[in-house]
Amino acid sequence: MAEEKFPINIWVNEERYQKLHEAELAHLCQEKLAGMKVIQVFATEAQKDRILKLFPTAKFDASTTRSIELLPRKVKDAIFDMVVRKKKVDVLEDFLNEYEASGGA
């Protein structure tokens, strides 16, 4: 059985959509909630645990959406910037490694 992966929902406003469009990633946006756009970055079980330890305000919504929520805005922005820079959504391992290497700066 495939390992369950847990989404980080990065909600997409016009500004974010424009950046995704320029990175040719706009097609990866999904309509998620009554027409809202979202781009999802997925975490493995081990990455989920690392995230929850690194960012104590983050929460895994186990009961409803099974997504990782409440990451600080600047963390979401940094993940989004890396998605745009690398032109792919499979960036979480790189992001976590960079974040840990920088001492959380």
Tell me whether residue 27 or residue 73 sits nearer to another protein (CB atom). Answer: 73
Rounded Cα gap, residues 71 and 41, in angstroms: 13
What mask of x and - would describe binding to another protein in positions 28 to 47, judged by CB under 8 A?
Answer: ---xxxxxx-----------
Identify the three-state secondary structure at position 29: coil
What mask of x and - would describe binding to another protein in positions 75 to 94, judged by CB under 8 A?
Answer: -x------------------
What is the Cβ-side half-sphere exposure of residue 52, based on CA atoms within 13 angstroms? 15
Contact assessment for residue 9 and residue 69, using Cβ atoms and an 8 Å cutoff:
yes
Q: Within 10 A of 37 (CB to CB), how many other CB atoms are there?
A: 18
Among 4, 18, 22, 72, binds another protein (CB under 8 A): 72
Tell me whether residue 59 or residue 85 sits nearer to another protein (CB atom). Answer: 59
Rounded Cα gap, residues 66 and 59, in angstroms: 10
Q: How far is the CB of 33 from another protein (least distance, A)?
A: 5
**Residues near another protein (CB under 8 A):** 9-13, 31-36, 56-57, 59, 61-65, 67, 69-73, 76
